[in-house]
A and B are shown apart, each in its own frame.
Chain A
Amino acid sequence: MYLELVYNQHENEAKSFFEKFHGDQECYYQDDMRVLSSLTKKEHMKGNETMLDFRTSKFVLRISRDSYQLLKRHLQEKQNNQIWNIVQEHLYIDIFDGMPRSKQQIDAMVGSLAGEAKREANKAKVFFGLLKEPEIEVPLDDEDEEGENEEGKPKKKKPKRDSMGSKSKKQDPNAPPQNRIPLPELKDSDKLDKIMNMKEATKRVRLGPEYLPSICFYTFLNAYQGLTAVDTTDDSSMIVGGFADSTVRVWSVTPKKLRSVKSAADLSLIDKESDDVLERIMDERTASELKILYGHSGPVYGTSFSPDRNYLLSCSEDGTVRLWSLQTFTCLVGYKGHNYPVWDTQFSPYGYYFVSGGHDRVARLWATDHYQPLRIFAGHLADVTCTRFHPNSNYIATGSADRTVRLWDVLNGNCVRIFTGHKGPIHSLAFSPNGRFLATGATDGRVLLWDIGHGLMAGELKGHTDTIYALRFSRDGEILASGSMDNTVRLWDAVKVFEDLETDDFTTATGHINLPENSQDLLLGTYMTKSTPVIHLHFTRRNLLLASGAYSPQ
């Protein structure tokens, strides 16, 4: 309405209209209102993307049939044809049968730039189950077919993996077919790593409300507010930091120092048959605890280690995603595709693929050996601020500044879920280890939990007072850790949230949920840091929580 006025050059009327009604808007739309308020000229509208969204897309309202009838009658009685036109033109009214929703239910769901998600949007079947682990015997013997289904073998190597789901020990009915998307073959080193992983897993501390994890905090000192991204390898041996001064710094946090491979000339001298060839190719002279990678020309906003620890991804304001080798500590590829700043990137849990999302409002799926993206996931109405792979690598979740979270199918590039409910840009995502749930954190300081299978909100965790930049489930999914700009790490009881989840027929049909206000019961612990915003969290394989952030002197 406002826009129409502006468009037709009724500037002053537009202003007064705004003055009159902006107070009626919910507080969480105020950011949009701010954008709107700055618009007073027709010329301004060209090129303002937000306006484009408003004009082309329809604001989705979910309304019960009764309410809809009431609205219609009201408008007809008042002869408000103009409003009716606008309603028809700009609102998508999603009508459902049954009781109108309560205010609280509505509040829980609205908040995104384009209203709520349509019901149909979340109907597609999502295979949220985990892929079957390739069978690896601890003494290495011949194995490796990923697709094979050895139902008979008990999976003793996946202890506690499915402790909370109702999944059978055998094939998860919700899991996608193993070959739904092609995954890279396992290499010998990967298998060794898997074995290490399993060994570690048996030593894992079992967490619960009574057994809270220990938290080890890595503080980046002297970072002068420049730390923008952190990632940790799965085995917690290395930490990488992306900095605003365009550098990427890799630290070894184990006594083992970082070494690069010898030069080609030296390498040719090495006896390739010897047993310790892997040791020999390393150049002792380059051993150091810190390696600095230069190459970007803008702040590095996202970093991600490959699961095999051979590669590192970083994305930057300069619009590129770079792949670095951790053997030579040099840049291997610069992926150019996003022409605008790239906000986040992440490797697939199986390696090979990675995803990036940026200011150009799309998320792109890449394979390390292709310089062009394999998929482009378009649909967000504002910047894609964070990206995460589903544990089975078949789906990608993206969070956006339009306050929605979308789940995309890697296979066909479709959007299969839209989650609305956050009141601010999303800045962190985390999948539960069993793949059923997604946790999202935003600038509004809330963590929302989503049931991926049903496409429903599963819980709301209030407590943080500032943007949540880090979310992570413990290895067994019992604890959800969240780290925030308010200098705290909080631990939440994830099991309890999902136990309380009610999924009756009506709820699933309409997507209306009643959330209990029990954030305080679920909060297991709050740990203040010393003016150090928490921007990364990581559970080691033994369920030790590593947190990191840069100390910012006041």
Chain B
Amino acid sequence: MAAEEKKAKLSHTLLPAESMKVMAEAVGIAQVPEETCQLLADEVSYRVKEITQDALKFMHMGKRRKLTTSDVDYALKLKNVEPLYGFHAQEFIPFRYASGGGRELYFYEEKEVDLSDIINTPLPRVPLDVCLKAHWLSIEGTQPAIPENPPPAPKEQQKAEATEPLKPTKPGQEEVGTLKGKGQSASTPDGKGKEKKGPVLEGAPLKLKPRSIHELSVEQQLYYKEITEACVGSCEAKRAEALQSIATDPGLYQMLPRFSTFISEGVRVNVVQNNLALLIYLMRMVKALMDNPTLYLEKYLHELIPAVMTCIVSRQLCLRPDVDNHWALRDFAARLIAQICKNFSTTTNNIQSRITKTFTKSWVDDKTPWTTRYGSIAGLAELGHDVIKTLILPRLQVEGERVRGIVEGPVVSNIDKIGADHVQSLLLKHCAPVLAKIRPPPDNQDCYKADYGYLGALLCTHVVKARAQAALQAQQVNRTTLTITQPRPTLTLSQAPQGPPRAPSIIKVPSSITLPVQTLVSGRPSTPTQPSPPPTKYIVMSSASGNSTSQQVITFSTSAVGTATSPVSTTAPGVQPVVKLVSTAQTAPSATVTGSVQKYIVVSLPAPGEGGKAGGPPAQLSPSAPSGLPLPGLAPPASTTVKLEPSDSPQAPPGTPIPFGKANGAQGGVAGSPQPSQ
């Protein structure tokens, strides 16, 4: 029926005479002459057209855009024809299409319905009743930015304004008109935060619109106050809510300049005061703003970029740089910068090249402290493989020497040491995958050493691992054996005492730091270029390093870690396995991030008493745990002593969540050892 209507809209379309024949047969008239069929076809086509046109009338009067079956019913009623009963598909009629023998056919698939099924199925929920809701569409000519209204300025429009801000505006967009242009100098953000605000002196009186901020309504002011308070306040739940609001609300456009100023001022003040937590909160706000699909940030980059950059390269971000985990903030901010570059860098504003220049400059400088150094490298590394290849790899040798100077030289200061360790692990982390791609397969330690100096050996190990991983993922094999060399168990007991004093600071930080990583991971699915394989878990079983015979990597495609551990214990009978969390793929460079959950569980063979204790970590890493938690890890020289166990995995006492901050902090202590995650 409805299929015929579709056709009827074209002029002079006729139903084929054959269908008349078919219909006639369907009602039991066998022999219909050809002429009759033709006549009938004409007649039926005309009637169908007529009824359809009447039905259109009902559609118009019903103030709808879609013709419904009831419209056709009413049109039939108009002609004193019994309406068709049983056609009440409200929304959408699933026409099937079939073609064959050069003909096209549309049909409506009708399923046979068993009445008893209908009787037995529970009643559907009663649809909600009609209700009336009032909101302000416009207040004295301007449209308030509330969820009930469509986004005041679609992103394209904001973009257009950012690029050509002096176009005359139409009425009705007035509020937009007054808003825009305030970020006119936004296209000249300077990497160091010295934005050029001077007007372009080019003779022509280029009108620079005042940077005055749009008047906010009382509600907006309240909202702004609430949001900013929640974002930097102490209540984590509130903060999550506020960030969620920033990331999703469509009407924040008018408040954007204020948020931007809030962030940049906040960073300025808190860097001076070394208030790490607040800086983290502010960076999370930046992240949320960037996540909001209705906001176009370009006009405010001149404020945001310096703020973010500060968080990456600042000399000191926290009161106690030796214990507080400011590295995570640097990593996070570096990712933000990378995303900004990705989203906003164009050939005209050159954001990426400027940022790169800034990073490189501070890195190359000999006097740069390790913190800044770390930030620069992180920032560069996040910018992608090409940047790593062209800027980082050539400097690996120099950097390696510098690291060696600290690590192997006379103990200068703890801070420097930690910094150097971080830089080293960062370099390894980012460079290995790149190297794995650009270097031909035979990985020779000596070659690497020749090419990259001090770091060469480590790099080589990592590259091997990266390759193996890639191979693993590519093959998707169930069982692969991976050889893990453990060249230097450099774990020193001197770091064990760091555990207890760290605790207070960790307690302060953990929830705040773990969350950005969470959001980061969840917000990231756009970054990975590779299709993410299903989550796999690696369980590395290693025997004691002393009598190391074989290490096995067992890949399980199942999810429950708990079940995964049991086969391990059975495959290695006679030993008490300690299952230990090693690391995840989170820290891998963006280009090779698989986006999947990868958990490494190293099974070592400690003294029998350790089994029960070590059973805890897998439970923590159950699928509900944030995938992004980088757990520092090492394949410990397992069977050496029992006491080593608590010292290198103090962060994983059974049953307690593993704080990111602590975990990362511990990374420094074990930096010399190979990290299976790489």
What residues make up the interface of A, taking CB atoms closer than 8 Å to B?
Answer: 15, 18, 22, 33-35, 37-41, 43-44, 48, 209, 211-228, 239, 241, 243-244, 249, 251, 253, 290, 298-299, 301, 317, 340-341, 343, 359, 383, 385, 401, 425, 427, 443, 466-467, 469, 485, 489, 520, 523-530, 533, 535, 545, 547
Contact in complex: B11, A40 (CB < 8 Å): no
A443, B60: Cβ atoms closer than 8 Å: yes
Of B50, B136, B140, B141, chain A has the most CB atoms within 10 Å of the CB of B141
> CA separation between A535 and B65, bound complex, in Å?
13
Cα A520 to Cα B149 in complex, Å, equals 23
B236 near A: Cβ within 8 Å?
no
Question: How many whole Å from B206's CB to the nearest CB in chain A?
Answer: 26
Per the bound structure, the CA–CA distance linking A227 and B131 in Å amounts to 11
- Is the CB–CB distance between A217 and B171 below 8 Å? no
Known: A228-B63, A317-B74. A220 touches B134 (CB 8 A): no
For residue A523, which residues in chain B have a CB less than 8 angstroms away from its CB? 170-172
Report yes or no: B11 in contact with A33, Cβ–Cβ below 8 A: yes
**Given A39-B46, A241-B130, A485-B65, also A527-B53 (CB < 8 A):** no
Give the distance to chain A from B534, nearest Cβ to Cβ, in Å.
34
Q: Does B167 reach chain A (CB closer than 8 Å)?
A: no
Instruction: Write the B40-54 contact mask toward A (1 if CB under 8 angstroms, else 0).
Output: 001101100110010
Instruction: Mark each residue of chain B from 551 to 580: 1 if its CB lies under 8 Å from any CB of chain A, else 0.
Output: 000000000000000000000000000000
A340 contacts B132, C-beta separation under 8 Å: no
Contact B133 A219 (CB under 8 A): yes
> How far is the CB of B146 from the nearest CB of chain A, in Å?
10
Closest chain B residue, CB of each to CB of A39: B46
Known: A38-B11, A524-B172, A525-B138. Is A385-B132 also a contact (CB below 8 A)? Answer: no
The residues of A that contact B148 with a CB separation of less than 8 Å are: 217, 219, 530
Q: B74 and A524: CB pair below 8 A? A: no
The number of residue pairs between A and B whose CB atoms lie closer than 8 Å in the complex comes to: 157
Q: Other than the known A39-B46, A219-B148, A221-B128, what 5 A-B pairs have Cβ atoms closer than 8 Å?
A: A18-B12, A225-B66, A227-B130, A524-B141, A527-B143
A211 to chain B, nearest CB (A): 7
Q: Does B497 contact A (CB under 8 A)?
A: no
Known pairs A38-B50, A227-B63; A298 contacts B74 (CB<8 A) = yes
CA distance A231 to B130 in the complex (A): 16
Q: Is the CB of B137 within 8 A of A34?
A: no
In the docked arrangement, what's the CA distance between A265 and B8, Å?
Answer: 60
A485 touches B133 (CB 8 A): no
Separation in Å of the A459 CB from the closest CB of chain B?
A: 18
Q: Which of chain B's residues have a CB closer than 8 A to the CB of A33?
A: 11
State in angstroms the CA–CA spacing of A377 and B70 once bound together: 30
Residues on B with beta carbons closer than 8 Å to the beta carbon of A241 = 130
Known: A38-B49, A228-B63, A385-B61. A222 touches B150 (CB 8 A): no
Provide the residues of chain A in CB contact with B150, threshold 8 Å.
528-530
Shortest Cβ distance from A536 into B: residue: B63
Task: Confirm or deny: B22 has a beta carbon within 8 angstroms of a beta carbon on chain A.
Answer: no
Given A34-B11, A225-B66, A529-B150; A215-B61 close (CB under 8 Å): no
Q: Which of chain B's residues have a CB closer than 8 A to the CB of A359?
A: 57, 78
Residue of B42, B90, B134, B170 most packed against chain A (CB within 10 A): B134
Q: Once the chains bind, are B133 and A218 in contact (CB under 8 Å)?
A: yes
With A34-B11, A34-B53 given, is the CB distance from A527 to B133 under 8 Å? no
CA distance A221 to B149 in the complex (A): 14
Residue B132 contacts which of A18, A214, A220 (CB distance < 8 angstroms)? A220
Q: Say yes or no: B78 contacts A529, CB within 8 Å.
A: no
Q: Contact: A212 with B138, CB < 8 Å?
A: yes
CB pair B50–A219 under 8 Å, yes or no, is no
Q: Which listed residue (A38, A212, A218) contacts B134, Cβ 8 A?
A: A218
Q: How far is the CA of A544 from the CA of B171 in the complex (A)?
A: 19
Select which of B61, B128, B136, B172 is within 8 A of A525 by beta carbon.
B172
Contact status A41-B42, CB under 8 Å = yes
In the bound complex, residues from chain B placing their C-beta under 8 Å from that of A220 are: 130-132
A547 to chain B, nearest CB (A): 6
In Å, the complex CA distance between A213 and B356 comes to 51
Q: Is the CB of A41 within 8 A of B43?
A: yes
Once the chains are docked, how many angstroms separate the CA of A43 from the CA of B74?
24
* CB pairs A–B below 8 angstroms (23 shown): A34-B11, A34-B53, A38-B49, A40-B42, A44-B43, A44-B46, A213-B141, A218-B132, A218-B134, A220-B130, A225-B68, A290-B132, A299-B74, A401-B57, A443-B60, A467-B60, A489-B138, A524-B171, A525-B171, A525-B172, A528-B149, A529-B150, A530-B149
Closest Cβ–Cβ distance, residue B674 to chain A (whole Å): 55
Looking at the complex, which one of B49, B57, B132 makes contact with A239 (CB distance below 8 Å)? B132
B12 adjacent to A37 (CB under 8 Å):
yes
Say yes or no: A341 contacts B78, CB within 8 Å.
yes
B78 contacts A244, C-beta separation under 8 Å: no
- Scan residues 12-58 of chain B and give those whose CB is less than 8 A from a CB of chain A: 12, 42-43, 45-46, 49-50, 53, 57-58
Q: Are A427 and B60 neighbours in the complex by a CB distance under 8 Å? A: yes
Contact of A529 among B66, B68, B134, B149 (CB under 8 A): B149
Q: Roughly how many angstroms separate A239 CA and B134 CA in the complex, as a whole number?
A: 12
- Name the A residues within 8 Å of B46 (CB-CB): 38-41, 44
- What is the CB-to-nearest-CB distance from A369 to chain B, in angstroms, rounded to a whole number? 29
Q: What residues of chain B lie closer than 8 Å to A469, measured between beta carbons? A: 63
A215 and B137 within 8 A (CB): yes
What B residues does A341 contact at CB under 8 A?
58, 61, 74, 78
Q: Enumerate the 9 nearest inter-chain pairs by beta-carbon distance, A residue then B residue, closest first.
A: A212-B141, A37-B11, A525-B172, A217-B137, A215-B138, A38-B49, A215-B137, A222-B128, A526-B172
Closest to A386 in B: B61
Assess whether B135 is interfacial by the CB under 8 Å rule: yes
Contact in complex: A217, B74 (CB < 8 Å): no
Of listed B64, B132, B171, residue having the most chain A CB within 10 A:
B132
Residues from chain B with Cβ under 8 Å of A427 in the complex: 60
For residue B525, CB closer than 8 A to chain A, the reply is no
Q: Which residues of A contact B141 (CB under 8 A)?
A: 211-213, 524-525
Residue of A nearest to B154 (CB): A528
List chain B residues, Cβ under 8 A from A213. Answer: 138, 140-141
Chain B residues contacting A43 (CB-CB under 8 Å) are 43
Find out whether the CB atom of A221 lies under 8 angstroms from the CB atom of B131: yes
Contact A535 B63, beta carbon cutoff 8 Å = yes
Query: How far in angstroms is the closest Cβ of chain B from A552?
Result: 8
Residues of B within 8 A of A524 (CB): 141, 171-172
Shortest CB–CB separation between residue B478 and chain A, in angstroms?
A: 45
Closest B residue to A212 by CB, please name it.
B141
For B149, the chain A residues whose CB sits under 8 A away are 528-530
**Complex Cα–Cα for A53 and B643 (A):** 103
Q: Name the CB-closest residue of B to A239.
A: B132
| Chain A residues near B122 (CB-CB < 8 A) | none
- In the complex, what residues of A have CB within 8 A of residue B130's CB? 220-223, 226-227, 241, 243, 249
Docked complex Cα distance between A220 and B43 (Å): 43
B62 interface hit (Cβ, 8 Å): yes
Which B residue sits closest to A298, measured CB to CB?
Answer: B74
Taking a contact as CB atoms under 8 Å apart, the answer to whether A343 and B61 are in contact is: yes
- Across the interface, do B137 and A527 meet the contact criterion of CB distance under 8 Å? yes
Please give, as numbers and ranges, the residues of chain A lying within 8 Å of B11 by CB-CB distance: 22, 33-34, 37-38
Asked if B140 contacts A211 (CB within 8 A), the reply is yes
How many Å lie between the Cα of A299 and that of B70 in the bound state? 10
Inter-chain CA distance A526–B150, complex, in Å, is 12
CA distance A216 to B64 in the complex (A): 22
Give bound CA distance, A213 to B148, whole Å: 19
Is A340 a contact partner of B136 (Cβ separation < 8 A)? no
A420 to B416 alpha-carbon distance, docked (Å): 87
Is the beta-carbon distance between B74 and A253 smaller than 8 angstroms?
no
Which residues does chain B contribute within 8 Å of A215, judged by CB atoms?
136-138
Cα distance A329–B271 when bound, in Å? 69
Shortest C-beta distance, B39 to chain A (Å), equals 9
Shortest distance from the beta carbon of B532 to any chain A beta carbon, whole Å: 31
Q: Is the CB of B63 within 8 A of A485?
A: yes
- B residues in contact with A225, CB < 8 Å: 62, 64, 66, 68, 90
Asked whether B135 lies within 8 Å of A222 as measured between CB atoms, the reply is no
B442 CB–A CB distance under 8 Å:
no
